[in-house]
Structure 1
Amino acid sequence: MKSFNLSDWALRHRSLVWYFMIAFMAAGLFAYLQLGRQEDPDFTIKTMVIQAQWPGASPEEMTRQVTDRIEKKLEELESLDYTKSVTVAGQTTVFVYLRDTTKAADVKPTWVRVRNMVADIKGEFPQGVIGPGFNDRFGDVFGNIYAFTSDGLTQRQLRDEVESIRAKVLTVPDVGKVDILGTQDEVIYLEFSTRKIAALGLDVRSIMASLQGQNAVAPSGVFQEGAERISVRVNGRFTSEASLNAVNLRINDRFFPLTDVATITRGYA
């Protein structure tokens, strides 16, 4: 019995061999053109971090009132592999790990569901709990990092310039995300003199309560005239350090300027 000879078969079927060669070349060229060419390709990380704060709480209180409630609720997640938590006084961090079999396309919808599940039990947290906050953007990659410095500009002016540049960069094709790091937020510092407060027979808590009451946003009523409805707004909210400098406080039926017991300055956090 004569054995199969591939070379002899190819010589006797030249047309078919040429057909396969051309088809394979076309398929290879098509596959080459479809190859990803990102310098920093995206990849999916199946981990989320949930953080919450409760100033003044002990680690035991934080674990019992916040951490355990989050972890027990997440047990209802079908694609959950396991959770891991780190709890210290006043703060908890919960790591959520999905199963390896979870498809990449299902990861983002799963994180949305995690947010909704935690939002469902947010009302069960004690008063004073801040958050929870979520971080699931570990897979983001940055192709370029730019540093901005300035001579003669304040931190606020530099930030405004960078914000303007960010808005323009986002209009560039294929740019998906631009983050600004290291920004300095402006704040107004209210520094009390304990000596002056004691001399007037006051306490900081009463002063802060009076300031919060004046700066509160509350409905002030409406005027109804036929089909028209006009909202009434009361002025007096704090808009700058000048607003605080002009404040006269009333505590225990006594009036005095805020500047008598505090120094008001504008600075950076």
Structure 2
Amino acid sequence: MQWLAEVCVKRPVFATMLILSLVTVGAFSFFSLGVDLFPKIDFPTITITVINPGASPQEIETEVTEKIEEAVNTISGIDELRSSSIEGISLVFVQFILEKDVNVAAQEVENRVQTVIPRLPATAEQPTVQKLDTDATPVLRIAVSAPTNLRDVTETAKNKIKERIESVNGIGQVTIIGGRERQINVWVDPDKMRSYNVTAAEITNALRLQNIEFPSGRLDEGQTETSVRTLGKIKKPEEFANVVIATRGNYQVKVKDLGYVEDGAEEIRSQALLNGQPAVTLI
């Protein structure tokens, strides 16, 4: 470094130009640096979500979470495996080392989860495997409120606002918080159930089996082939009252003998407020 100091002393013009060139290059590089409020970073973290409505945290832990953890625990490259079991929901987080390709990790987790599905409870929904996406952070919140019931507000937000926002280029996902969608509720009297010797499982199975549509094969007539479908969907809410639950002797026990049918809304699982009033939030 002594020779550089000697050159700068003997050639001041050269030293000045050298410093100016370094300053110019530095300034140009500074203004051309890429800046992003939410930089794209791929963390090799996979989340597995399983919903089993009505199950207690203990049941979720033993019947769902532990089985999924056992299946994915042997995947190579796992850095951390943690889970959360709450009422009706199982969440399993699989974090891999940074060198692990996130797409490969997601596929390996998906393959292992598929092997667990036959051992999950019959009431559990299909497991959802997702990659941790830093770009999925909500950037806009829209609150919708009106002087009417929350079910109508939810329908408006879902069909008239959510669908239009999702059609905009660059929108990844729109989630509704605090909504109550339409739901047909069947209310039964336990005393009437005991008098007719009917169980809750029989009511559930009857409503499920008598409210489905499924393919029934095809009819071949020479060179003509016709597809056949069994149309068993109930069209009107009041028709649920005539669903036959069981037969006791010569009498068919129907829903209306045990209770009543309500064209109502689902239970509130999340809540959003706008100026202290119930609202629906889209994020």
Preserved CA contact (<8 Å) 2:47 2:132: no
Alignment match, 1:263: 260
Alignment match, 1:233: 229
Distance in 2 separating the partners of 1:202 and 1:8: 106
Alignment match, 1:32: 31
Which of 204, 213, 220 is 1:217 aligned to? 213
Shift of 1:214: 1.7
Distance in 1 separating the partners of 2:245 and 2:44: 53
Which of 75, 78, 82 is 2:76 aligned to? 78
Moved more, 178-187 or 250-259: 250-259
Alignment match, 1:192: 188
Preserved CA contact (<8 Å) 1:74 1:80: no
SS at 2:260 equivalent: strand
Moved more, 65-74 or 113-122: 65-74
Residue type matched to 2:25 in 1?
Answer: F
Residue type matched to 1:78 in 2?
Answer: S
Distance in 1 separating the partners of 2:154 and 2:175: 15
Change (3 A) 1:8 1:156: farther
Preserved CA contact (<8 Å) 1:10 1:17: no
Residue type matched to 1:24 in 2?
Answer: V
Shift of 1:23: 6.9
Change (3 A) 1:41 1:240: farther
Shift of 1:263: 0.6
Q: Does 1:245 align with 2:246?
A: no
Which of 1, 11, 14 is 2:13 aligned to? 11
Alignment match, 1:179: 175
Distance in 2 separating the partners of 1:143 and 1:61: 33
Distance in 2 separating the partners of 1:246 and 1:177: 40
Preserved CA contact (<8 Å) 2:72 2:109: yes
Preserved CA contact (<8 Å) 2:215 2:229: yes
Q: Does 1:95 align with 2:93?
A: yes
Preserved CA contact (<8 Å) 1:42 1:141: no
Residue type matched to 2:116 in 1?
Answer: I
Distance in 1 separating the partners of 2:87 and 2:212: 31
Unaligned runs of at least 5 residues, structure 2 = 267-283
Shift of 1:76: 3.6
For residues 124-182 of structure 1, the C-alpha deviation after alignment (integer angstroms, 9 at most, x for no partner) is 44655544344544632122212111124652354334543233334445444332222
Preserved CA contact (<8 Å) 2:210 2:243: no
Distance in 2 separating the partners of 1:198 and 1:132: 37
Residue type matched to 2:228 in 1?
Answer: V
Structure that is richer in strand per residue: 2
Q: Does 1:141 align with 2:143?
A: no
Preserved CA contact (<8 Å) 1:250 1:256: yes
Moved more, 81-90 or 223-232: 81-90
Distance in 1 separating the partners of 2:128 and 2:32: 42
Preserved CA contact (<8 Å) 1:62 1:91: no
Residue type matched to 1:266 in 2?
Answer: D
Residue type matched to 2:7 in 1?
Answer: N
Q: CA RMSD in A?
A: 4.0
Residue type matched to 1:96 in 2?
Answer: V
For residues 174-211 of structure 1, the C-alpha deviation after alignment (integer angstroms, 9 at most, x for no partner) is 44433222221221111112333344454444344333
TM-score (norm 1): 0.73
Unaligned runs of at least 5 residues, structure 1 = none
Distance in 2 separating the partners of 1:46 and 1:117: 17
Change (3 A) 1:198 1:123: closer
SS at 2:106 equivalent: helix
Answer 1 or 2: higher relative contact order, Cα 8 Å, separation at least 6.
2
Alignment match, 2:113: 118
TM-score (norm 2): 0.70
